[in-house]
Each structure stands twice: as C-alpha cells, then as structure tokens.
Amino acid sequence: MSRRAVFLDRDGTINREVLFLGDAALVVLEKAAPGGLRLLQGAGFDLIVVSNQSGVARGFFDEDAVRRVNATLSGMLRAEGVELSRFYFCPHHAEGAVPKYAIGCDCRKPAPGLLLSAARDADIDLKGSYCVGDSARDVEAGRAAGTRTVLVLTGFGAASLAEVESRSLADYVAEDLAAAARWIIKDCSGSGGDIVDS
C-alpha cells in the first residue's frame, strides 16, 4: 500500500532562511517547525525534504556541505522527537559557475523531479500527499507532481504571497509550519479549512 508524505522545502520552511546556506553552524529551526512536524509525523506522514541548493552550481559550497547542513538539521529535529524520512536536493542552476552543475534539469523546483524521485523510491501516493514551502516554485513543484500544496509565510513566503495567489498555486496559505500541519490534518480527514490560518 502506497504511503502518504509531506514534501517540505528546507530553508525558510523548516529552518530560518539563510541565503545560500552552506555552513551547518548557521542552522536555526523555525520556531513552529518541530511542533508542526510532530503533528504530521503523528498523523502517519513520511516527512521528505526537497530543496533547491544552487549554491553548489554557483561555487559557494559543495554537495558535502549540503549534506552536513541536512545532517545537522536532522539531528536537531531528532532531539525534538521528529524523524525526517529522506532528503533530496537539486545542486543545479543553468547559469552556474561550476560546469558540472551548470545545466538545465528536471529536479530544480518548480520542476517536480525531486518529488517524483522520492515518490518512486518510497512508494508515495502523490495524490494523497502535500507539498509545503515558502516560495512560488515550491508550491508549483507540488502542483506539478499532483500533490496538495501549502505556502507558509515564513522565509520568503510573505514576499511570494502575491504571486502564489495570482497564479492560484496554493491550496492553503499558513502562517508557519505548525499552522500548515493543522490544516493538512484537517484536509486529509475531509474537514477542510479557511483560506488563511493566522
């Protein structure tokens, strides 16, 4: 039987936004993230992180630095009772400075490649799953993959709201990850929710 997942952007959604985060010492959790993730975990969702990391293509840091940040984030959340299932990231950017990564690809959000790969690897039911992020490209990737979508207003979310609303990309807009989790749990039980949770 296929599993359900919540696909989560990393920077600005789970941890505080740091532009081109390549230093694990700079990882700080968003205040509402642990509680929200515990709710989703308790509801039986796999928690899968899907993030663009174009700092690799730009030459700011390497893939190992991304993995160190991910490991630090995972450890911080484990201490809060949360187990992240998997991490997927895109190191590419078409205008990158590192030739190996300076390519067009199907994994850089808003393309759905990261979500599709995760769904294949973990037997995820995309139609029963959700994608949460703080930018238009995050929710657009979820929409393209066939999930329900939530924009959080942390990170770049507030700045992305007008575009997301004008393009009808999000099924829901939430103040933070805890509010997103509450709506997801209501939505998957069929009770729905308001357009914005504050």
Q: Which residues are catalytic?
A: 9, 11
The C-alpha atoms of residue 9 and residue 190 are separated, in whole angstroms, by: 25
Cis peptide bond N-terminal to 110, omega within 30: yes
Question: Are 160 and 135 contacting, i.e. CB atoms less than 8 angstroms apart?
Answer: yes
Structure token digits, residue 191: 């009770």
- In the block, which residue shows the tokens 């999000």? 170
Q: CA 39 → CA 14, 17, 174, distances in Å?
A: 14, 22, 15
Within a 13 Å sphere around the CA of 120, how many CA atoms are in the beta-carbon half? 6
Based on its alpha-carbon atoms, the radius of gyration of the chain, rounded to whole angstroms, reads 16
Name every residue whose Cβ is closer than 8 Å to that of residue 158 and which is 6 or more positions away in sequence: none
